[in-house]
Amino acid sequence: MSDHELARIQLGADSVPAAVPTRDRFDVVVVGGGAAGLLAAHTVGTTRRGRRVLLVDAGLALGARQQAGVSQMIGYGGAGLYLGGRLYVGPTTIPAFPPLTLPAGVGAVLQGSAYTDRMAQVNSLFTRLGARISPQPAPSSALAAAVAAASGAGLDYVTSYPARLLPLAEREAVLRGLLAALETAGVQLAFGTRVSSAVRDGRGFRLALFPSGEAGAEPRSVWSRTLILAPGRYGLEWLVGVASALGARMIALPSAFGVRLEVSAAAYAPLTDINPDPRLQVQRGDALVKTYATCPGGRVAGVTRYGRLVASGVPRPVGQRGPATTFAVLVQPGAEAAASIWRDGAAAARRVNERVPGQLALQRLGDLHAGRATITQALMSNSIQPTDAEAQPAPVHELYSARYWDALTELLSRIEQLAPGTSAADALIYAPAEERFWHFPTDEHLQTSVPGLFVAGDGPGQSQGVIQAGVAGLLAGEGAAAVLDA
């Protein structure tokens, strides 16, 4: 008997701790207000009227987010639906995987016509809510030319078509429509609220909720029979901690590792003027060498993830952008390559942090190629000034393998053909950069090995975009509803 079959049997009837006040008892708690969380709450709320559903998100509610006018990645609508509005309406799978080898036990739970049927269901909902624009079957002429130029330079320019590119008015219509549907269905919304802990309690879950940004506030304790964890990509570390504490089975996937660059914004403009985040990559056997998270005119900041200080890109609004653009260059190995020729990658961030404790390591690209350290005086006269003032000059060239530098040099030389001046000697290298990934084995409705616990969306790696995240939320919502019906 599988973990998921056992989960269905173990749930049985409700068992609510008597000490929980009625107002704090729920049938479903959804954590995450992006596309996956909204669709999960919408599914349960509209198909199981009378069930108590609570949606929790650490960011701002829709009205407050619109008034704030800042490009936060969290809050009502998440990043993809609120900020982006790109709806890929072609075939894919859930979870989404790169074209690399996978560890044993990792595979898709939804694919082929089963996925496209669900995709059409979510797409139709968005249309009813106010998305009017028709799918664009192929890239615009400008983007198509950029893709062709990249191919000529030996690069794969990652695009996904057909797609609906929702303008701001249509995104707002969909967001308002979803909000009205949730309120009509009686779904309770708790934005500006973070979940600090979740534990098993009886045949459900007890969660501690705190107001975001209010240190010392008293927690609100709520109980729910089922729990849907649907954070976006930026909530993955939180998700891993909560799911692990609850005992969910997880499989660590190979980390993507590398550095973050700061280059002339004018030099990189031929790429970012067409697409603010061009995804360029080359495949080296069982590994992708790729650009990641481009921020035109943005800045670099050190953030702590999984106990490591790593370089992250911070976007700036169009009118406040600086003279440099930042993007990461990562190697993402498959399972076989991570166990062989790229096995040193998993420890890259640790090595850099040990060499430069508490700060990002920094080096001019010209010095890196010459194999010499960057001195402070050279930085003072550098045409590209560090946007992270705390970064420490260090011999970054000594901290990664020659194989990695060969891969980076090859990628930059190809990009140089598209954006001359990108790999100038004054470009800056920050280390480390890293992205981690986990696979959560689930049943067909995204229930984990823990009875009543579901995961959905970009955070757990099931989706890469609004429609796919919406499909994941739909599946999780149906799964939670089925548990309530059992």
Q: Give the predicted TM-score (pTM) of the model.
A: 0.91
The pLDDT of residue 5 is above 80: no
HEC sequence for the chain? CCHHHHHHHHHCCCCCCCCCCHHHEEEEEEECCCHHHHHHHHHHHHHCCCCCEEEEECCCCHHHHHHHCCCCCCCCCCCHHHHHCEEECCCCCECCCCCCCCCCCCCCCECHHHHHHHHHHHHHHHHHHCCCCCCECCCCHHHHHHHHHHHHCCCEECCCCCEEECCHHHHHHHHHHHHHHHHHCCCEEEECEEEEEEEEECCEEEEEEEECCCCCCCCEEEEEEEEEECCCHHHHHHHHHHHHHHCCCCEEEEEEEEEEEEEEHHHHHHHHCCCCCCCEEEECCCEEEEEEEEECCCEEEEEEECCEEEEEEECCCHHHCCCEEEEEEEEEECHHHHCCCCCCHHHHHHHHHHHCCCCCEEEEHHHHHHCCCCCHHHHHCCCCCCCCCCCEECCHHHCCCHHHHHHHHHHHHHHHHHCCCCCCCCCEEEEEEEEEEEECCCCCCCECCCCCEEECCCCCCCCCCHHHHHHHHHHHHHHHHHHHHC
Q: Are 225 and 203 in contact (CB under 8 A)?
A: yes
Q: Mean pLDDT for the chain? A: 92
Condensed to tens digits (0 to 9), the pLDDT of residues 316-344 reads 888 889 999 999 999 999 999 999 999 98
Q: Are 329 and 411 in contact (CB under 8 A)?
A: yes
Condensed to tens digits (0 to 9), the pLDDT of residues 92-103 reads 999 988 999 999
Domains of the chain plus CATH, in order, are: 3-131+166-250+440-485 (3.50.50.60), 254-437 (no CATH)
- How many alpha carbons lie under 13 Å from residue 191 in its C-beta half-sphere? 17
pLDDT of residue 6: 36
Condensed to tens digits (0 to 9), the pLDDT of residues 303-314 reads 998 889 999 998
pLDDT of residue 68: 83
CA distance 30 to 455: 10
Let me know if 86 is exposed, middle or buried by CB neighbors in 10 A (0-12, 13-18, 19+).
Answer: middle
pLDDT of residue 486: 87
In this prediction, residue 15 has a pLDDT band, given cuts at 50, 70 and 90, of low
pLDDT of residue 71: 65
| Tokens 């990695």, located at residue | 404
pLDDT of residue 215: 67
The pLDDT of residue 472 is above 50: yes
Condensed to tens digits (0 to 9), the pLDDT of residues 21-60 reads 889 999 999 999 999 999 999 999 999 999 999 999 999 9
Condensed to tens digits (0 to 9), the pLDDT of residues 116-168 reads 999 999 999 999 999 999 999 999 999 999 999 999 999 999 999 999 999 99
| Tokens 């069982």, located at residue | 286
